Amino acid sequence: MPGCGDHDGAGSGRPGLSGVAATRRARRRPASGPQILAAGPPVTTSRGHCWFLGGEADGVEGVRAAVRARVERGVNVIKVMATGGEMTPGTRSHEAQYGPDELRAAVEEARRHGLPVAAHAHGVRGIENALAADVDTIEHCSFMTADGVDSRPDLIGAIARAGIAVSATLGFVPGFAPPPRLASRLDGFVANLRRMRDAGVTLVCGTDAGVAPPKPHDVLPYGAAMLVECGFPPVAALRAVTSSAAEACRVGEHKGRLAPGFDADLLAVEGDPLADVTALRAVTAVFRGHRVR
């Protein structure tokens, strides 16, 4: 799901969007690499989560201006940090950063330009604020509290009724253990994943790939396997990394399915992932626009 671009404009007041530049290059030469849907630096509060990427913005008007700046640079999606996060000292994942007014301003401004909004939200208050603002996707949606994980069937039901997709953060390579703060919450995270599935929430597989050694950029197959380990059938796990993800990213009309008229972006594997999802790691060929990469 939406990632954060590098900051190449320190002190300039303009977001650095190297990811957008990569998007343009891939558009000019499709066979050169994957299609990138870039968000640029996430919109965050002063010294908020990932502030060091260059996306600080405060108040309703500050958030609107931040969205406009990204629109001018050609992003595909707006990412906003509704709560703090694990990788930014001084912020807390369970605490809200923006209220519903700021988030609603981001959504309104983004939709004026035809762009979706992805809200990073761990804590319950941040999830509530993202729901009230009618964002398009909620990233993580972990229901974290100061000392555990909450259970909110009412909120999960409201997310399902609103049609908001949840990008769950899944997958890490074997041999690494999650930090104790997260390891102690894993059972709660899994229980909420199952509640969201049962409530009809659209779940897609996000990874946070690249943020740390346990999450390299080829970690996605481990995320799909984690869904199966959580009790999801393999077909649901495959949809979470293909068709459902494409729909959430607004490219579902030409990606994410094997069908006439769709882009031939294909992964060939040895084995049947419907029987054993770990076959996704036995890659034999990768196609981008019907060409072998």
Average pLDDT score over residue span 117-125: 98
Res. 10: pLDDT tops 60 = no
| CATH number of the domain bearing residue 100 | 3.20.20.140
State the pTM of this model: 0.91
Q: What is the pLDDT of residue 19?
A: 67
Nearest CA to 234 out of 282, 190, 191, 273 is that of 273
The total number of structural domains that make up the chain: 1
Query: Per the domain annotation, does 4 fall within a domain?
Result: no
How far is Cα 289 from Cα 184, in angstroms, rounded to an integer?
A: 43
In a domain, 241, yes or no: yes
Within a domain: 37: yes
**Looking at residues 262-286, what average pLDDT do you find?**
96
103: burial class by Cβ within 10 Å (0-12, 13-18, 19+)? Answer: buried
Q: Does residue 263 have a pLDDT over 80?
A: yes
**293 domain residue, yes or no:** no
227 exposure class (CB count in 10 Å sphere: 0-12, 13-18, 19+): buried
Of 25-34, 99-108, 111-120, the least confident: 25-34
Q: Is 174 left (phi over 0), alpha (psi -120 to 50) or beta?
A: beta
In a domain, 5, yes or no: no
Residue 54 has pLDDT above 90, yes or no: yes
Q: Is 8 within a domain?
A: no
Determine the structural domain holding residue 78 and report its residue range: 18-261
Q: Give a yes or no: residue 122 inside a domain.
A: yes
| Percentage of residues of the chain with pLDDT beyond 90 | 83
DSSP state of 42: P
Could you tell me if residue 82 is inside a domain?
Answer: yes
Q: Where are the alpha helices (DSSP H) in 29-123?
A: 59-73, 100-112
Provide the pLDDT for residue 156: 98
Q: Which two tokens stand for residue 156?
A: 């999960």
Q: Residues 186-199: pLDDT tens digits?
A: 999 999 999 999 99
For 55-74, write each residue's pLDDT tens digit: 999 999 999 999 999 999 99
Q: What is the mean pLDDT of the chain?
A: 91
pLDDT digits (tens, 9 = 90+) for 17-52: 666 766 666 666 766 678 889 999 999 999 999 999
What are the E-state strand segments in the chain? 78-81, 117-123, 137-144, 165-169, 203-206, 266-269, 283-288, 291-292
Distance CA 125, CA 145 (A): 10
